[in-house]
Amino acid sequence: MAGVHNAGMQFRRILLLLGAIAMGAPALPASNASTKSSDGRNYMWVDKDGQRHYGDAVPPEFSQGESRVLNNQGVELQRENARRNAQQLEEDKRRQQDQQQRQQHDRFLLTTYTSIRDIERLRDERLDQIDGQIKAAALYIESLNTRLAAMQVRAQQFKPYNTSVKARRMPDDLAEDLVRASSEVRAQHKAADRRRQELLNTRAQFDVDIARYRELTSRSATNP
């Protein structure tokens, strides 16, 4: 019986070796050929040097890479990449895109400006332009408020603001003007808020560009 058992084990080992050769992989090492997981599967994985390894489990340090699942005859059943799910792949893609954008922006900085003073000059022009828009919006809002206040005074003569029994119904054109003026004041306040936020964002972006330009140029100077 022992001889039959040993012959069976040797036959399965031969099948395993033949299966590995058929899939273009090197034969399983003798030390790994006899180690199988509880479900009869073996795994093949590749290390950082491109060397293939076989065993009944993929070591944790190689779990991020691709591995192949083999049956006990060495035939490939499936390929696994358990830790590389769709979300991680998307994150990798986003990181690559971010890196490309940073590289493009670095090239833009180096090819557009000859000194930090150039960046500061453009920054001041942009900030002055936005600040001028904010001041113009403030003047327009002030004029709208003046006009709205005059209409509100006039509206006091009519219902529902005037509770006198002799008060007339507010004319339609006055009611429409009040609604339009109030809506315009709110819209202009929101637009002015956006301009003020744009001013802050623009200043912050130029600060980042100046710091990055300084880093890039200092690096070029130390590594000609």
Q: Is residue 90 part of a domain?
A: no
Q: Is residue 89 part of a domain?
A: no
Residue ending a domain, among 20, 51, 80, is 80
Q: Say yes or no: 62 and 162 in one domain.
A: no
Q: Say yes or no: 110 and 159 in one domain.
A: yes
CA distances from 6 to 2, 10, 13, 21, 134 (A): 6, 6, 11, 23, 90
Q: If you count them, how many residues does the chain have?
A: 224
Write down the pTM of the prediction: 0.56
Joined together, the tokens standing for residue 127 give: 């900030």
The predicted pLDDT at position 116 comes to: 96
How many whole angstroms from its chain centre is CA 131?
31
What parts of the chain have a pLDDT lower than 70? 1-41, 43, 62-86, 220-224
Q: Say yes or no: 141 and 31 in one domain.
A: no
Q: Say yes or no: 25 and 106 in one domain.
A: no
Q: Is residue 205 part of a domain?
A: yes
Q: Say yes or no: 120 and 164 in one domain.
A: yes
The runs of H, that is alpha helices, within the chain are: 2-22, 30-33, 86-112, 116-155, 172-222
Domain count, the chain: 2
Q: Is residue 7 part of a domain?
A: yes
Residue 202 is part of which domain span?
96-222
Give percent of the chain above pLDDT 70. Answer: 66
Q: Is residue 182 part of a domain?
A: yes
Residue 53: beta bridge partners?
45
* CB distance 34 to 13 below 8 Å: yes
Q: Is residue 87 part of a domain?
A: no
Residue ending a domain, among 13, 46, 80, is 80
Task: State pLDDT tens for residues 4-58.
Answer: 444 555 545 554 444 544 444 444 444 343 334 445 567 677 777 777 777 777 7
Residue ending a domain, among 24, 50, 80, is 80
